[in-house]
């Protein structure tokens, strides 16, 4: 299971970076999304995978016996997902607006103003 | 001391922002509410600074969860200095923006976003939890995204794409670094991390994580080679917004870097060399970039990059005196950069342009205003006894003492080019005869009502006075910087305060 997730993280990061290096703005955004998801799975993976051991103390016990699944990474991922949801929503609107004003999806068409020093 | 008071400045801005939502589209009320909220927050920030000075560390364990299990808020001297600077800049820029912004921008939530941005900054400076720092960063960047693109001009959209992409990428790198850090240590509390990271056996992984943090914060604070988004976006928003961005947002990255690299990852030889190398390149590229710019705003953008190099270089030397220099320079830089960006706004108001070739004759038309502006410009150059002079002595002295001669050369070259650029700006904008005939319509400043003029000039004069005060009372500021550096170089004080509730003054 770990190996599978490691590979998944690797694929998400590399695909994200590959997409970000394209000239299309939509691909840039998709790339950012993929890397973001890769980061979330990385946190999940780094927290350690424990199968079938919820972090709940049994009724007749006073503390944990044996390993248990760490709930903190899940809280972190949840926070990160909410934040990236907001950022993505904003970025999509921004792209739409840029497309409406410049009429192009090409990132290179954005550099007109840089000619003016 | 354990106190809930740490959260007061954050709450003041939060409440102001929420209140402003009730007055959507009512411009006058929004201005009044914003100024009142800003003033209250300013007083609270000053009080927080004073209390931290008297009592030493202030700690708050949110929800009563003892560290390292809950989220901790800590106010040490560095945090309280940053809080104070944020308060000064936010109050002055808040007043400035009541007169400098047009009505439609205020109608669509400028002040609301402004207060959220400041709240995020204060939170980032006060938190003691690395993931919480990430969350505050996100609050700051999403407010800054909207502030940057508010108005929807084509130029702003183009700048927005670059700014948004780079900042989102920085956040993802930061998040990745946090993920790995949690994996190798199992904690998120900065004080606890400081203890646990020393016990990690896989030092290679620690170095990689440290460099990931450096890359993430490096994008935010605009260091070479990650700075290019800054000069291509900071000249597009109105000057009030640019003043907040230029003064505080990049310094937030530097603050995070200082915090992480003095508390969690104590830099080894390799990381110090990376810092110094990057600092040299940042200073040189920033300075060279500023040399051929005709637009005042772009010139200042490159100078922001250039002077970030000073801070990174000081951090790279990593002696106590160098850190004193870093803290002192940080205090000086926040004030001066915000001031200069507001000044660029007032120049635009007077002459309708910030292109230096088409400007001129300001010293003749506005002699008093020009004098106030001159104080800010000469502070930036570092003419004694103004504020930029004192931290540079520390930088020069320490790089000479530790034998970092290339860094010393870069400091000298960057200072020299700053001098050239500022002198040219002074002669082009203020002394030269105006190249085009001036008519009454051009000068929007003269047509403003007296209250509007006051709201534009008073913040600039106030920040110039602060620069002057820092320069003349250098000994007092130096002592505070010294205390900060002592705390930063002895992380055990921070750890004792957070984890064991032992407070030494």
Q: Supply the ipTM of this predicted assembly.
A: 0.93
Which of B78, B52, B62, B60 has its CA nearest to residue B501? B60
Amino acid A115: pLDDT:
47
What's the half-sphere exposure (Cβ side, CA atoms, 13 Å) at B320?
11
A74 CB within 8 Å of a chain B CB: no
Amino acid B504: pLDDT:
67
Q: Which range marks the domain in which residue A40 is found?
A: 2-51+67-108
Residue A60: inside a domain: no
Amino acid B41: pLDDT:
96
- Distance in angstroms (rounded) separating the CA atoms of residues B96 and B342: 8
Let me know: does B246 contact B338? Beta carbons within 8 Å.
yes
Count the domains in chain A.
1
Residue ranges of chain A whose pLDDT lies below 50? 115-117
Q: Residue A32 is nearest to which of B152, B168, B294, comparing CB atoms? A: B168
Is B127 in a helix, a strand, or coil? strand
Q: Do residue B232 and residue A114 have CB atoms under 8 angstroms apart?
A: yes
- Distance in angstroms (rounded) separating the CA atoms of residues B466 and B431: 25
Q: Do residue B183 and residue A45 have CB atoms under 8 angstroms apart?
A: yes
Show residues of chain A in contact with B292, CB under 8 Å.
117
Displacement of CA B102 from its chain's centroid (Å): 25
CB burial of B165-193 (b: ≥16 within 10 Å; e: otherwise) equals bbbbbbbbbbbbbbbbbbbbbbbbbbbbb
Residue A113: inside a domain: no
Its pTM surpasses 0.80: yes
From A113's Cα to the closest Cα of chain B, the distance in A is 7
From A43's Cα to the closest Cα of chain B, the distance in A is 4
Residue A17: inside a domain: yes
A47 CB within 8 Å of a chain B CB: yes
Q: For every one of its 505 residues, what pLDDT tens digit does chain B have, with 9 covering 90 and above? A: 888 899 999 999 999 999 999 988 888 999 999 999 999 999 999 999 999 999 889 999 988 888 788 899 999 999 999 999 999 999 999 999 998 888 888 888 899 999 999 999 999 999 999 999 999 999 999 999 999 988 878 888 888 888 999 999 999 999 999 999 999 998 999 999 999 998 888 888 999 999 999 999 999 999 988 888 888 888 888 899 999 999 899 999 999 999 999 999 989 899 999 999 999 999 999 999 998 888 888 899 999 999 999 999 999 999 999 999 999 999 999 999 999 999 999 988 888 888 888 888 888 888 898 999 999 999 998 888 888 888 999 899 999 999 889 999 999 999 999 999 999 999 988 888 877 777 777 788 888 888 888 999 999 999 999 999 999 999 999 999 999 999 999 999 999 998 888 776 5
B176 CB within 8 Å of a chain A CB: yes
Show residues of chain A in contact with B162, CB under 8 Å.
110
Residue A93: inside a domain: yes
What is the CATH number for A80? 1.10.287.3510
Amino acid B224: pLDDT:
85
Let me know: does B86 contact B97? Beta carbons within 8 Å.
no
From B122's Cα to the closest Cα of chain A, the distance in A is 19
Number of Cβ within a 10 Å radius of residue A113: 13
Residue A58: inside a domain: no
Q: Do residue A94 and residue B164 have CB atoms under 8 angstroms apart?
A: yes
Q: Residue B182 is nearest to which of A32, A46, A102, comparing CB atoms? A: A46
A94 CB within 8 Å of a chain B CB: yes
Amino acid B216: pLDDT:
94
Residue A103: inside a domain: yes
Residue A61: inside a domain: no
From A63's Cα to the closest Cα of chain B, the distance in A is 16
Residue A114: inside a domain: no
A-B CB pairs within 8 A amount to 96
Amino acid A117: pLDDT:
42
């Amino acid at each position: 299971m770990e190996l599978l997730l490691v590979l998944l993280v690797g694929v998400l990061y590399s695909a994200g970076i590959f997409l970000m290096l394209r000239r299309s703005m939509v691909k840039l955004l998709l790339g950012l999304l993929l890397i973001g998801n890769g980061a979330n799975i990385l946190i999940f993976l780094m927290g350690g995978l424990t199968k079938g051991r919820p972090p709940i103390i049994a009724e007749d016990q006073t503390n944990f016996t044996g390993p248990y699944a760490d709930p903190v990474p899940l809280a972190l991922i949840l926070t990160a997902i909410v934040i990236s949801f907001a950022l993505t929503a904003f970025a999509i609107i921004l792209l739409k607006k840029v497309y409406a004003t410049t009429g192009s999806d090409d990132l290179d068409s954005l550099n007109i103003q840089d000619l003016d020093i | 001391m354990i106190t809930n008071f740490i959260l007061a400045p954050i709450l003041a801005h939060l409440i102001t922002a929420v209140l402003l939502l009730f007055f959507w589209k009512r411009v006058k009320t929004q201005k009044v509410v914003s100024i009142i909220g800003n003033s209250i927050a300013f007083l609270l920030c000053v009080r927080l600074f004073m209390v931290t000075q008297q009592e030493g560390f202030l700690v708050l364990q949110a929800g009563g969860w003892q560290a390292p299990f809950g989220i901790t808020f800590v106010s040490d001297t560095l945090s309280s200095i940053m809080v104070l600077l944020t308060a000064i800049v936010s109050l002055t820029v808040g007043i400035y923006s009541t007169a400098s912004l047009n009505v439609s921008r205020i109608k669509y939530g400028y002040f609301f976003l402004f207060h959220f941005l400041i709240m995020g900054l204060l939170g980032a400076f006060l938190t003691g939890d690395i993931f919480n720092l990430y969350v505050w960063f996100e609050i700051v960047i999403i407010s800054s995204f909207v502030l940057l693109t508010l108005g929807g001009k084509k130029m702003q959209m183009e700048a927005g794409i670059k700014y948004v992409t780079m900042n989102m990428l920085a956040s993802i790198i930061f998040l990745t670094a946090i993920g790995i850090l949690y994996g190798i240590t199992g904690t998120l509390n900065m004080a606890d991390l400081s203890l646990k990271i020393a016990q990690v056996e896989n030092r290679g992984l620690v170095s990689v994580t440290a460099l990931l943090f450096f890359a993430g914060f490096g994008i935010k604070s605009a260091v070479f080679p990650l700075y290019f988004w800054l000069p291509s976006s900071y000249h597009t928003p109105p000057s009030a917004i640019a003043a907040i961005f230029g003064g505080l947002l990049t310094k937030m990255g530097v603050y995070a870097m200082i915090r992480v690299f003095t508390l969690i990852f104590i830099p080894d030889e390799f990381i110090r060399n990376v810092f110094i190398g990057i600092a040299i390149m940042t200073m040189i590229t920033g300075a060279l970039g500023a040399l051929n710019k005709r637009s005042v705003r772009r010139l200042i953008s490159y100078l922001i990059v250039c002077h970030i190099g000073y801070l990174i270089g000081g951090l790279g030397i990593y002696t106590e005196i160098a850190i004193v220099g870093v803290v002192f320079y940080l205090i000086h830089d926040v004030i001066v950069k915000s001031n200069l960006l507001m000044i660029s706004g007032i120049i635009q108001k007077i002459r309708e342009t910030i292109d230096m070739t088409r400007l001129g004759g300001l010293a003749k038309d506005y002699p008093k205003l020009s004098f106030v502006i001159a104080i800010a410009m000469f502070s930036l150059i570092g003419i004694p006894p103004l504020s930029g002079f004192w931290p540079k002595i520390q930088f020069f002295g320490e790089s000479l003492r530790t034998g970092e001669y290339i860094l010393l050369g870069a400091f000298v070259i960057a200072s020299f080019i700053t001098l050239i650029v500022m002198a040219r700006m002074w002669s082009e904008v203020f002394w030269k005869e105006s190249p085009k005939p001036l008519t009454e319509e051009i000068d929007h400043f003269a047509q403003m009502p007296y209250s509007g003029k006051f709201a534009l000039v008073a913040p600039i004069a106030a920040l110039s006075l602060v620069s002057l005060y820092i320069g003349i009372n250098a000994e007092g500021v130096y002592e505070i910087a010294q205390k900060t550096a002592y705390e930063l170089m002895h992380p055990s004080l921070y750890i004792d305060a957070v984890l064991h509730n032992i407070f030494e003054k």
